[in-house]
Amino acid sequence: MAASSAHSTMQPLSRHVAVIGAGASGLVAARELRREGHTVVVFERGDQLGGTWVYTPEVESDPIGLNPNRNIVHSSMYQSLRTNLPREIMGFRDYPFVAKEGDDEERDPRRFPGHREVLKYLNDFAGEFGISEMVRFETEVVLVGLVDGGKWNVKSKSKRGEDFEEVFDAVVVCCGHYTKPRVAEIPGISTWKGKQIHSHNYRTSETFRDQVVVVIGSSSSAFDISRDIAGVAKEVHIASRSLADETINKKPGYDNMWFHSMIKSVHEDGSVVFPDGSVVLADFILHCTGYKYHFPFLETNGIVTVDEDDNRVGPLFKHVFPPALAPSLSFVGVPWKTVPFPNFELQSKWIAGVLSNRITLPSKEEMMEDVNAFYLLLEGSGTPKRYTHDLTSFRDEYADCLAAQCGCTVSEEWRKQMLLTVAKNWFVRPNTYHDEWDDNHLVLQAYEDFRKYTI
């Protein structure tokens, strides 16, 4: 992942750019594109900005999310959600997510705030930079297709039923990837008589009162939701493929929660069998098993493929530009297990700078070589394809690489250190990391650094 930056001496260009989605990635993309002199239209199918941070009690008609004819609800937020990152590293680099002082009692000053505070922060951001004026709300993009001259035809549909068709010089895809559920494959599931739900449709614990629930997954959502449910459920059993076959442990601090390895099979009588032979008669299976990339509107004649089962969008140079279509098509927010907002900001600066000719990309061949070398690296290290966009092992390197591409300063050292201490705290204090920590010295450094943006 070599970091190199090429700054161009060509005439600056202003392009007409479509941004799809007004979540965190679309908002910062719109800001960066306009800063760079482009004209921008942001298409947003919802009636407000914020994307996944717009909590709604509404759920989909198919709780497990497999029926293609179900109503689609975009957000996966549950009522109790607090951020799993502290606000100091979570916010955009030049618009820190600092606790707001003042008389707005609805603000949540906690270091790991609830989801409403994140939505307010995104609204503050949009207000500060005048982004809403670029957004066409309640307008869904239904087709993005190539036209002659390397431009893009964008077809959209408003909620009122109007159809639009416009040509753009470039399209930036910012539509998120936490909406289409991925579910676990379980032997016997077609005849199992219990109920199934995906975490996408989890809102509150009430549905699970006095029930026996098997939660599949080992992400922060799986643990958050398990803790939520344990307060009302009869039993909670967490099944995870990352736990060894013989695992069956009671979760410390809980008398109704157990860890198991992944379910072996389920049966018509409602039983759920684990590899160690233990059997649970369950009412619910709750899949906290992640999501699939899904860009149903994108038509690139096969140049960009979305492998939903194996979780790869490609080929993408540094997870952003498809070499053959760069720079007129780009993606913000594809990587996961990262610190999303600052990455969105750097990816957007890069895209905006390349579109204006300020920054030069490597040749298409060089970009393709880089992608192939990356795929080989994954293969060589035995990393399954589904982890293509998982940045766990490259987090800092990737952020530094993006910063170099767009000529920005690399991440401050306190950010890197704070992410490490937070990751350690998730492990050491899984139930209390939101409220107990040991890195106040880094918080002080962060706020010292923020002074250049907040004073």
- Tell me whether residue 174 or residue 280 sits nearer to ligand FAD (CB atom): 174
- Tell me whether residue 212 or residue 222 sits nearer to ligand FAD (CB atom): 222
Q: Nearest to residue 209, comparing CAs of 177, 172, 183, 235?
A: 235
From the list 48-56, 239-247, 378-386, 424-432, the region that binds ligand FAD by CB under 6 A is 48-56
CB 64 within 8 A of CB 96: no
* CA–centroid distance for 285 within its chain: 24
Interacting residue with ligand FAD among 121, 125, 178, 274 (CB under 6 A): 178
Helices 24-35 and 340-355, axial angle in degrees (round to 10): 30
Q: Does 401 bind ligand FAD (CB under 6 A)?
A: no
Distances (CA, A) of 392 to 217, 225, 292, 399: 17, 23, 18, 12
Q: Does 297 bind ligand FAD (CB under 6 A)?
A: yes
- Tell me whether residue 76 or residue 357 sits nearer to ligand FAD (CB atom): 76
Max CA pair span of the chain: 71
Give the x/- contact pattern for ligand FAD in 217-236, rule: CB under 6 A.
----x---------------
Interacting residue with ligand FAD among 37, 145, 188, 340 (CB under 6 A): 340
Q: Give the angle subtended at the CA of 337 by the CAs of 335 and 343, to the nearest 5°.
A: 50
Binding to ligand FAD (CB under 6 A) within 309-338 occurs at 333
Q: How many helices (H) and strands (E) does the chain have?
A: 9, 22
Q: Does 90 bind ligand FAD (CB under 6 A)?
A: yes
> Please, what is the minimum distance in Å from the beta carbon of residue 334 to ligand FAD?
9
Site size toward ligand FAD, by CB under 6 A: 33
Could you check whether the bond before residue 315 is cis, i.e. omega within 30 degrees of 0? yes
Residue linked to tokens 């059997």: 279
Interacting residue with ligand FAD among 85, 135, 266, 361 (CB under 6 A): 85
CB 73 within 8 A of CB 57: no
CB 21 within 8 A of CB 331: no
Interacting residue with ligand FAD among 18, 19, 23, 316 (CB under 6 A): 23
Q: Does 174 bind ligand FAD (CB under 6 A)?
A: yes
- Which chain residues interact with ligand FAD by CB under 6 A? 20-26, 43-46, 51-53, 74, 76-77, 81, 83-85, 90, 140-141, 174-176, 178, 221, 297, 333, 340-341
